[in-house]
Amino acid sequence: MATIIDGKLIAQQVRSALKEEIAYLRDKKGLQPGLAVVLVGNDPASQVYVRNKKRACEEVGIASFAHELVAGTTQKELLALVERLNRDPAVHGILVQLPLPDQIDETRILNAIAPDKDADGFHPVNVGRLATGTPVFRPCTPWGVMELLRASGVDPAGRHAVVVGRSNIVGKPVALMLLAAHATVTICHSRTPDLAVQVGRADILVAAVGKPRMIAGDWIKPGATVIDVGINRLPDGKLCGDVDFEAARQRAAAITPVPGGVGPMTIAMLLKNTVEAAKRSRGLVA
């Protein structure tokens, strides 16, 4: 029976440490870290995530500036807001919650965020830094996955990691981070034949697909570590991951639950990036 990796608890520990650091920055350096969170439209999941992010900021002492724009917002209007936030000295981190409505070109918006305020790590400059092994702001969900592994005592070096999903926000960056941590990495996607065979080779499995319980328990290699990034809402309103949790926990050595796994870590790492951005704005980091 697998150990449950408690993302809620590990995220709480990250936030506690940050809270102390932020108090120090405020009291001793006169620096108040600030995060601008931009939400366009009324996607219900995004509304929940943005609310959780604002609450987490308050808990640790980060000033949060919420910008909730109507679904019909134009690209020009959103670009103007991003440019204003780029110039605002109280804002150290900027996050534009994805997905954006169809009339807005996501790439255009992400490219407009100042790379030194890019709390999500999605700007091409930061993606390039990650890809070349000199990361500054790491994408929050993949970084959260790496922290869960570290906190669970799982060192990827020399292990076979299998990532299911190749999105720019999860699959691709988590594969780069596992590679940097010296894993042998396989990336699977919708054109991968015989997914079960690939999954069965994983010492570390990261599932980031968005399909409820699509990874069967008996695909999992006995003793594997399973990190389930998927967040899917079932018809009964409950959340579940991409992995069949009850079956997988019979074979895995360790597994993350949904909710209470990767989700809370995503937010904790966002707060870390914001504090990092604030410190960098003052030259407080190397």
Q: Which residues are catalytic?
A: 53, 97, 120
Residue 266 touching ligand L37 (CB under 6 A): yes
Reported as type and span, the H/E element at residue 18 is helix 7-29
Options 55-63, 64-72, 76-84, 226-234: segment touching ligand NAP (CB under 6 A): 226-234
Asked if residues 225 and 154 have their Cβ atoms less than 8 Å apart, the reply is yes
| Residue (of 84, 92, 124, 86) closest to 106 by Cα position | 124
Residue 49 touching ligand L37 (CB under 6 A): yes
Given the complex with ligand NAP, which of 266 and 273 has the nearer CB atom?
266
Count H helices and E strands in the chain, helices first: 10, 11
According to DSSP, the β-strands at 204-207 and 160-164 are parallel
Choose which of 4, 65, 232, 280 interacts with ligand NAP (CB under 6 A): 232
The CA-atom distances, in angstroms, between 79 and each of 105, 108, 122, 169 are 10, 8, 16, 21
In the complex, minimum distance from the CB of residue 197 to ligand L37, in angstroms, rounded to a whole number: 29
Residue 52 touching ligand L37 (CB under 6 A): yes
Residue 146 touching ligand L37 (CB under 6 A): no
Burial 62-84 (b: 16+ CB within 10 A, else e): bbbbebeeeeebebeebbebbee
Asked if residues 69 and 97 have their Cβ atoms less than 8 Å apart, the reply is no
Given the complex with ligand L37, which of 49 and 245 has the nearer CB atom?
49
Query: What tokens appear for 156 in the block?
Result: 């990827």
Choose which of 98, 214, 216, 247 interacts with ligand L37 (CB under 6 A): 98
Residue 170 touching ligand NAP (CB under 6 A): yes
Options 62-70, 103-111, 161-169, 174-182: segment touching ligand NAP (CB under 6 A): 161-169
Residue type, 180: A
In the complex, minimum distance from the CB of residue 125 to ligand L37, in angstroms, rounded to a whole number: 17
Options 58-66, 77-85, 92-100, 176-184: segment touching ligand L37 (CB under 6 A): 92-100
Given the complex with ligand L37, which of 98 and 125 has the nearer CB atom?
98
Give the residue closest to ligand L37 by C-beta.
263
Q: Which long-range contacts (CB under 8 A, 24 or more apart) does 280-283 make?
A: 280/116, 280/136, 281/89, 281/92, 281/116, 282/29, 282/31
Q: What is the DSSP string of 57-78?
A: HHHHT-EEEEEEE-TT--HHHH
Residue 259 touching ligand L37 (CB under 6 A): yes
Choose which of 54, 166, 249, 251 interacts with ligand NAP (CB under 6 A): 166
Residue 189 touching ligand NAP (CB under 6 A): yes
In the complex, minimum distance from the CB of residue 11 to ligand NAP, in angstroms, rounded to a whole number: 11
Q: Which residues bind ligand L37 (CB under 6 A)?
A: 48-49, 52, 95, 97-98, 120, 169, 231, 239, 258-260, 263-264, 266-267
